[in-house]
Amino acid sequence: MGACHSCPICLVLDYNWVEKVNWIEKGLSTFKERVGHSMVLRLQPPLKGPTLIFFNAEGLPGTMSPRRRSVFKDLTKLDFNYIPEKLVHRERQLQRLDTLFNQVITDQLSQNVLLTGSVGTGKTAMSKLFCTQFQARAKSSGKRVEYVFVNCRQRNTEASVMLKVVNHFQPRFPDRGFSITEMQEILRKDIKKNATHLIIVLDEADILLKKAGSDLIYGFSRFDEESPAEAPRSISLMLISQENIFEILDAASVSTFKRSNLVKFEGYDADELFDILEARVGLAFHNDTVDIELIALISDIASENGDARYGIELLEMAGHLADENKSEALNAEYVRAAKAETFSTVTKSQLAELDLQRKLFLIATARALKKKAYAGTGDVEKIYAVVCEEYNESARGHTQFWKYIKDLDANGLISTRKSGKGFVGTTTLISLPDIPASELEKMLLKMIE
Ligand SMILES: Nc1ncnc2c1ncn2[C@@H]1O[C@H](COP(=O)(O)OP(=O)(O)OP(=O)(O)O)[C@@H](O)[C@H]1O
Ligand SMILES: [Mg+2]
């Protein structure tokens, strides 16, 4: 700190300077007032974190580079609700949505589309980004378009979905006392009164369909059926689901949804995830806190499921670990630790609840899957017999073995599928959905000890 040492005020700063730096950032005058000292303070433009130059009463300068308080520059950019201005590697999907919805602006028609793809592939982010951009594009063509976003995991009854839609125009609409049909009529009037076109986005629509059937979606998709043919259409639908819900929609609804209106979101590969994460690092972290190599490591890990959300989550957790350890930057150990932490505690507690036989069965499964994506039940059964021997337990018979498969499949600890393309013969195959085999085995062995 050089000359600062000769200044009594700087000693005060040294003691609790982080708080003082906050004051300084708010304004020099406040600082002077609080410390009651006449010395001059100057802030140097932030190079690597703010550097403060102190001039003591004798006018001698001294500098102090405060330790960065966090590797994060802006945590909100890692929030799952944050929508980036651009979704890299989703240009094709955006283009397709633009093309499909164009008729809403040009011919006042409606459109129904379905967005599908596995977890964390950008469906929700795309729907919001597209709707916002589309609304602006319509406006510049002199058309009014609005959108309402409903998450059907949070609202999985017809009435609650309908209420959210009606709330778009009437935020204070009472949450009970009106039937679905009455709410539909109210919506119709509101759309007309506002001379607008409403895009209804039903995110995680499969949950609504499974819980409440397809009546509501059918109703929306035929909303304008009784209006004159030349009247502007009032509602478009955007359904989002991980599965292809054409299989759960009833035939009548499927017929109003053209199959060609399916927009697919494939899982991201490691290179695509790298680009996504690199952009996010630039927004959320200070310079030089996340090495390129670490971005590659996280991309590799997340590419197993093609899941951008998981990549962002790992980044955030590794960042918090760096902060907790007062490190200037992230490192590979923090990433690995973050990865280990993301095996949900649910899995751990689920494992703990299993009886010894089921634990032995899972150890066998984990061993069979160490180098493979899928294992045949025959292989697992053989390994299971060996594992039982290791633990002086007698292996249960074939029927019981199949019961273990069924039980563990039902609670999600394993998943099964019939062998198809790419496999010899037909058999049932076992895989592990969300935990590496070696990790699973380690956890189980620890529990059994
Ligand atoms: N191409 C992309 N560019 C930048 N960020 C992305 C991209 N794709 C996804 N993300 C980010 O990844 C996270 C997950 O995306 P999103 O929530 O849209 O996934 P999803 O497909 O809706 O997943 P789920 O099926 O689990 O709901 C979000 O934080 C989102 O901003
Ligand atoms: Mg989503």
Query: Is the pTM higher than 0.85?
Result: no
**Contact between 417 and 429 (Cβ < 8 Å):** yes
pLDDT at site 368? 94
- Rounded Cα distance, 49 and 117, in Å: 41
CA distances from 321 to 32, 71, 199, 318, 337 (A): 36, 10, 42, 5, 8
Measure the CA–CA gap between 166 and 151, rounded to whole angstroms: 15
Q: Percent of the chain scored above 90 by pLDDT? A: 57
Least confident of 98-112, 134-148, 247-261, 404-418: 247-261
Residue 289 has pLDDT above 90, yes or no: yes
Q: How far is the CA of 154 from the centre of ligand 2 (A)?
A: 12
Instruction: List, chain by chain if needed, residues with CB within 6 Å of any ligand 1 atom.
Output: 80, 84, 87-90, 117, 119-125, 242, 276, 308-309, 312
C-alpha 216/C-alpha 437 separation (Å) is: 43
Indicate which atom in ligand 1 lies nearest the CA of residue 265: 21
pLDDT digits (tens, 9 = 90+) for 202-236: 999 988 988 888 889 989 988 888 888 888 899 99
In this predicted structure, the answer to whether residue 9 has a pLDDT above a threshold of 70 is no
pLDDT digits (tens, 9 = 90+) for 321-354: 999 999 999 998 899 888 877 765 556 777 888 9
CA of 162 to the centre of ligand 1 (A): 26
Average pLDDT score over residue span 251-257: 73
Which of the residue ranges 61-65, 238-242, 295-299 would you say has the lowest mean pLDDT?
61-65
User: Ligand 2 center to residue 160 CA distance, Å?
Assistant: 19
pLDDT of residue 12: 33
- Measured by CA distance, the residue closest to atom 18 of ligand 1 is 122
Q: Give all domains of the chain, ordered by start, each with its CATH number.
A: 2-64 (no CATH), 91-265 (3.40.50.300), 270-341 (1.10.8.60), 350-448 (1.10.10.10)
Residue type, 298: I
Query: Closest Cα to residue 149, out of 135, 136, 134, 168?
Result: 168
69 pLDDT band (50/70/90 cuts)? confident
Listed residue (62, 58, 134, 51) closest to 95, CA to CA: 134
- Taking only the tens place, the pLDDT of each residue in 139-158 is 999 999 999 999 998 898 99
Ligand 1 test: best mutation among 97, 309, 310, 312, most atoms within 8 Å of CB?
Answer: 309
Choose one of 77, 80, 124 to mutate for the ligand 1 pocket test, by most ligand atoms within 8 angstroms of C-beta: 124
**Residue from 121, 154, 316 whose mutation best tests the ligand 1 pocket (most atoms within 8 A of CB):** 121
Nearest-angstrom CA–CA distance, 362 and 439: 12
pLDDT of residue 343: 66
pLDDT attached to residue 336: 85
Please give the C-alpha separations between residue 405 and each of 12, 359, 366, 426, in angstroms, as whole numbers: 66, 12, 13, 17
